[in-house]
Amino acid sequence: MSPEATLLCVNSVFVAFAFLWVYPRLAERRLHLMLRYDIAITGAAMTVAGLLYGGKGLGFTFLDLPWWAFSLLSLAALEIPAWILFLNTNGVDEE
C-alpha cells in the first residue's frame, strides 16, 4: 500500500472514531468541548503518522508534500464534511 493510501486509511479511522463514537456519546454537545476532543484526536492521528513516516525520508508523490502536511490536509479534507454533517444533524451549542 502506498504511503498516501496508508495515511488516508489511518485518518479515516480517526474521523470515523470521532464522529461515530466520541461525539455522539458526549453528554453535553458544546462546540468548545467538541473542539478540545478534536484537538486530541488530531494529535493522535498526527502521532500515528509521525510514527509511521517521521524521519524515514519517504517521498509522497501526491503534490510532493512532506508526511505531516499530507496528513494534516487529508485529515482536514475528511473531517470538514463530517463536521458540517454532524453540526447540521445534531443540536450543538455554540457556547
6 assigned to some structural domain: no
30 phi/psi in degrees, rounded to 5? -110, 140
All three cell numbers of 43, joined, read: 494529535
Instruction: Give residue-wise pLDDT tens across range 61-75.
Output: 777 888 889 999 999
Q: Find out whether 69 and 7 touch, Cβ atoms under 8 Å.
A: no
Indicate the number of domains in the chain.
Answer: 1
Cα angle 34, 39, 45 (rounded to 5 degrees) comes to 120
Which residue blocks in 1-95 are alpha helix, DSSP H?
Answer: 3-17, 31-53, 67-89
Q: What is the pLDDT of residue 95?
A: 63
Cα angle 62, 67, 72 (rounded to 5 degrees) comes to 90
27: containing domain: 11-89
Q: What is the pTM of this model?
A: 0.87
35 assigned to some structural domain: yes
32 assigned to some structural domain: yes
